Structures are given as C-alpha cells and as structure tokens.
Amino acid sequence: MKLGLFANNKIERACPQLLFAQRRIQLVKLMKFVADGMLGKLARWLRLAGHDVIYIDNLRASAVDQDEILLNLAKLEKRELLTCDLLLYRRARKSGIRTTFIRTSDVVSQLAEISKKSGHKIEINPENSRCPTCNGLLKPVGKEKIVEFVPRTVLKTRREFWRCSKCGKIYWYGKHWKTIIEIASRYNKLK
C-alpha cells in the first residue's frame, strides 16, 4: 500500500518517530469520542489521528440542549465523552458513561492526557486520517480529478492528494504539515 503524506524524505529526516508510527499502523487503536463545545481544536487533532470524533458545535444544536445531546450520543454510540465542564463530567460518570475530564487548554497536553487514560498511543497517520473539519474519511484521489479545485502551483509541486468522502474538501501535503509535525513531536516528548 502506498504510504501517504509522510513518505517524503524531508519529513523522514525531520520526524523519524512519525515514520515509526506509520509502520505500527495495525497496533493503533482507533477510538470513538464526542467532544464538548470548548474542545474544537482537540477534536480536529483527534480526527487527524484517525479517531472518530463528533464535535458538538458541528451539530448546530442550541446551547441548552447540548449537554443532553452529548450524554445521549456517548451512551447510544458508545463514545467516550471529552469535556472540560466539571458538572457534565460528574453527570456522565453517574450515568456510567466513559468520560475524560480535560483539565488543560494546551492541545498537546490534552492529547497526552487522553493517551495516558486510554492506554493507547495517539499517532498522526495519513492512512487513517479523518477530515479535521467534518470527521469524514479521507480517500486518496488522482490529480486529474481535482485539477479545477486546486491552485496551479500546488498541482505542479504536489503528487498526492486526499479528498474527504463527506464534505469533499481536498487535502495535500503543504506548509501546515510543519505545524502538525511540531505538535506531534511535542506530544511524543510529553507521553
């Protein structure tokens, strides 16, 4: 199988642990979460790492209904609730819902916290990635199919592209991956 975004020499040099992560793909457990309205950044990161995350703000529910929706989704779909609301956390615990109370605002520490609690590593791997915007699965897509949607300079310089199967957003290996690698390295040091 073709190795996606990280099959790039520069990246191999910059972040060998990510390649290591890629080879261990079968050992990574993909988890299901539902995240409260304060955790949008964390939701995007978990999706990028391949986890199935419902982010409450994506559902456009009114603020008064959000807690009930979060609890119901966690229960019905067996998702772990991620929240920084202590009252909601306690309610979930009382109802026997698996939940993690997120104490910090730094996304790297949040990822480390979840990883520690679940006992599973969280690894960014393009083979598994979901769309950070909508949680859809990303599929490799041929250049010829996306010519009209991607800037010409990107088409010239990039060979691999992925399209979200849900919202249609197109992804390629660009500058933002530098941030991703930096965050992943920080997370790896924290674990």
Total residues binding Zn ion (CB under 5 A): 8
Closer of 27 and 30 to Zn ion (Cβ)? 30
Minimum distance of Zn ion from residue 164's CB (angstroms)? 3
Q: Is 119 left (phi over 0), alpha (psi -120 to 50) or beta?
A: left
Q: Shortest gap between Cβ of 165 and Zn ion (angstroms)?
A: 8
Indicate which single residue of 41, 121, 136, 185 sits in contact with Zn ion (rule: CB under 5 A): 136
The dihedral through the CA atoms of 25, 27, 33, 36 has a sign that is: negative
Site for Zn ion (CB under 5 A): which residue of 73, 84, 164, 181?
164
Long-range contacts of 183-188 (CB under 8 A, 24+ apart): 183/45, 183/107, 183/108, 184/15, 184/17, 184/18, 184/123, 184/124, 185/15, 185/17, 186/108, 187/108, 187/111, 187/112, 187/115, 187/122, 188/17
User: SS3 of 104, please?
Assistant: coil
Any contact of residue 131 with Zn ion (CB under 5 A)?
yes
Minimum CB distance to Zn ion, residue 65 (Å): 24
Q: How far is the CB of 12 from Zn ion (least distance, A)?
A: 28
Stretch of residues binding Zn ion (CB under 5 A), selected from 23-31, 75-83, 141-149, 168-176: 168-176
172 three-class SS: strand
Closest to Zn ion by CB, 89 or 162: 162
134 in contact with Zn ion (CB under 5 A): yes
Please report how close the Cβ of residue 109 comes to Zn ion at its closest, in angstroms.
Answer: 26
